[in-house]
Amino acid sequence: MNASLSPVMHRVLDASLPLAEAGEGVWIADASGRRWLDASGGAAVSCLGHNHPRVLEAIRDQAGRLAYAHSGFFANAPSEALAEKLLARAPETFRGGAVLFLGSGSEAMEAAIKLARQYWLEVGEPGRDRFVARDMAYHGNTLGALALGGHPSRRAPYAPLLMDVARAPAAFAHRLARAGETETAYAARAAAGLQAALDANGPGRTAAFAAETVSGASLGAAPAPAGYFARIREICDADGALFIADEVMCGMGRCGTYFAFEQEGVAPDLIVIAKGLGAGFMPVSAVLVSGRVAGAMRAGSARLANGHTYMSHALACAGALAVLETIEAEDLLARVTPLGAHLDAALRDLLGEDRNVGDIRGRGLFRAVELVADRDTGAPFPASDGLADRVRAEGMAGGLICYPSPGAEWIEPDGTPARCGDHLLLAPAFISTEAEIEQAAERAVGAVRRALGRVRGRA
């Protein structure tokens, strides 16, 4: 197919894409039978592979009965059951809470922003109209979510349209810890940056602080230093600001626990989940609202100010419910940590000594390899080399889907712009076999080596 003639608005308008025809386990095939090993679940989405029979059956069954009934008139059984299950797996503070179902991660982040604002209106603090988010974060592409994001090139075209958001530093020890600084000291310093941002907003002004628990596409599967989130929780509590955990990418088991923040020992006020919730079978996302926030809304206006036509969609929720039931029936969460360790070991074995590999990091089945021009200084390849795009192309040519990104950007304290190395993200399905994990690592390493070879060849 010639994409230049395609009526679909693709991401790249002047290149052609293979036509995906069928999914089988962790593989995607085109009409000619050519197959790609999906080692990133697209963008950390397909945690059950592409044709899980249990999920497909549940979707067929629900579609045969009722796909959609407007949420202003009717409740539906799949969304009620899914909300109950999600709240039961959330921290204690979510007892008496509520779940808002939407269609995408951006929509859910947008809704979380609005829920935080509505909460403060309900409890009589209308002055809390400002937000804090971190440098190098990605929270989605709708205007509110994009305003929270700290991704300069994605923000740039829309900069005049974005609300002003106070910035806290990223928690990214690999790049931002000082020489000789302990993890504890770095965690405290990074968290102190939130305090500075709250102070800049002024007392009683911040509605919420938003952060990815494990940073995803922008930083490349980067967990925070130990102790960081515990301090964040204390700082938010002292200010009064709500804490929104963006687990669109890292949640729903991707890091080895239902919610990635479980491993940090903290509980947010609003939890945003998406990708692994519908696992690609359904476009669905959710905001889990704590008992305190939902309770204030019930006791106040008792109205959600931010309705959407497709919220609580019966078919979407039936698919997501089946995903959750499958993860539990097949005990798939128990596979994530050991399979992730296997992937990490394979990557280190194959690439650990490579002079252009700056870091191999991640948690559970959420892993990234950072590529640098100089391993000693961490200097990235020039953006003009387009290394991430080359890795993507080499991956596809070698029968692999991975998720490469150009390195995140930040400003040094002296004002000079800096950039991390390009990285590729691997987020295989929880149903992957060890052999598939090894094959994913081998194909990813092949794509990296070929891409590096082309970049070096140009030097």
> Distance (Å, rounded) from C-alpha 261 to C-alpha 75?
30
Q: Give the residue with the Cβ less far from ligand PLP, 195 or 218.
A: 218
The minimum distance between CB 243 and ligand PLP, in angstroms, equals 15
Q: Give the residue with the Cβ less far from ligand PLP, 113 or 236.
A: 113
Token pair 């990133």 in the structure block, residue: 40
Residue pair 169/133 in contact (Cβ under 8 Å)? The answer is no
Q: Give the residue with the Cβ less far from ligand PLP, 43 or 185.
A: 43
Instruction: Write out the two tokens for 331.
Output: 């005990």
Give the DSSP H/E element, type plus range, for residue 184: helix 183-201
> Distance (Å, rounded) from C-alpha 420 to C-alpha 408?
5
Q: Which of 442, 230, 236, 203 is nearest to 346 (CA)?
A: 442
Q: Give the residue with the Cβ less far from ligand PLP, 198 or 248.
A: 248
Q: Give the residue with the Cβ less far from ligand PLP, 205 or 367.
A: 367
The minimum distance between CB 219 and ligand PLP, in angstroms, equals 10
Q: Give the residue with the Cβ less far from ligand PLP, 216 or 404.
A: 216
Q: Which of 43, 61, 76 is nearest to 274 (CA)?
A: 43
Q: Give the residue with the Cβ less far from ligand PLP, 138 or 261.
A: 138
Residue pair 395/402 in contact (Cβ under 8 Å)? The answer is yes
The minimum distance between CB 299 and ligand PLP, in angstroms, equals 30
Q: Give the residue with the Cβ less far from ligand PLP, 113 or 217.
A: 217
Runs of H (alpha helix) within 240-306: 275-278, 291-299
Q: Give the residue with the Cβ less far from ligand PLP, 218 or 312.
A: 218
Runs of H (alpha helix) within 267-375: 275-278, 291-299, 314-329, 333-351
The minimum distance between CB 148 and ligand PLP, in angstroms, equals 9
Instruction: Write out the two tokens for 214.
Output: 């494990």
Distinct helix (H) and strand (E) counts, the chain: 15, 19
Token pair 């409890």 in the structure block, residue: 123
Q: Strand 27-30 and strand 35-38: pairing?
A: antiparallel
The minimum distance between CB 169 and ligand PLP, in angstroms, equals 17
The minimum distance between CB 142 and ligand PLP, in angstroms, equals 7
Residue pair 395/377 in contact (Cβ under 8 Å)? The answer is no
Q: Which of 210, 236, 219, 208 is nearest to 134 (CA)?
A: 210
Q: Give the residue with the Cβ less far from ligand PLP, 114 or 449.
A: 114
DSSP, res 252: T
Strand order through the sheet with 422-426: 357-363, 366-371, 422-426, 403-405
The minimum distance between CB 40 and ligand PLP, in angstroms, equals 11
The minimum distance between CB 155 and ligand PLP, in angstroms, equals 14
Give the DSSP H/E element, type plus range, for residue 442: helix 434-458
The minimum distance between CB 140 and ligand PLP, in angstroms, equals 3
Question: Residues in the site for ligand PLP, rule: CB under 6 A?
Answer: 43, 104-106, 109, 138-140, 212, 216-217, 246, 248-249, 274
Q: Give the residue with the Cβ less far from ligand PLP, 262 or 442.
A: 262
Residue pair 223/363 in contact (Cβ under 8 Å)? The answer is yes
Residue 178 neighbours by CB distance under 10 Å: 9
Contacts of 59 (CB under 8 A, 6+ apart): 281, 282, 315, 318, 319, 322
Instruction: Write out the two tokens for 288.
Output: 């889990």
Nearest residue to ligand PLP by CB is 105
Q: Give the residue with the Cβ less far from ligand PLP, 79 or 106.
A: 106
The residue type of 420 is C
